[in-house]
Amino acid sequence: MNKTSEPRSARTENLQSAGEVFHMPIWLGLASVVGLVSALLGDGVWDGVSWLAIFAPIGAVWWAWRGRGG
């Protein structure tokens, strides 16, 4: 961590609604459920769908971490 930078504040000037706050977590949760159900119930193409859907949260974390300079 760079000691010369100012610490980040958790508060922002703009207020967000619950829909704005939970928009992405809900989509990632739905992707996880779709991935788990397709892995349990399907074969063939469904295996690929399950891999993509299960890795969506991992990709989102990587994207957010990269955006913060991690």
Q: Structural domain tally of the chain?
A: 1
What six digits make up the tokens of 7? 């610490």
**What is the structure's pLDDT at 42?**
87
Per the confidence metrics, is the pTM higher than 0.85?
no
| 10-residue stretch averages of pLDDT, the chain, 70 residues long | 61 84 91 92 91 90 83
**What is the structure's pLDDT at 16?**
86
**What is the structure's pLDDT at 37?**
93
Give me the residue label for tokens 């706050």: 21
Residue 17 lies in a domain: no
Residue 24 lies in a domain: no
Residue 48 lies in a domain: yes
Residue 61 lies in a domain: yes
**Rounded distance, CA 63 to CA 26, Å?**
17
Residue 55 lies in a domain: yes
Q: What range does the domain containing 59 cover?
A: 30-67
Question: Which amino acid, one-letter code, is at 14?
Answer: N
From 19, 13, 2, 9, select the one nearest 70 (Cα to Cα): 2
**Rounded distance, CA 31 to CA 9, Å?**
30
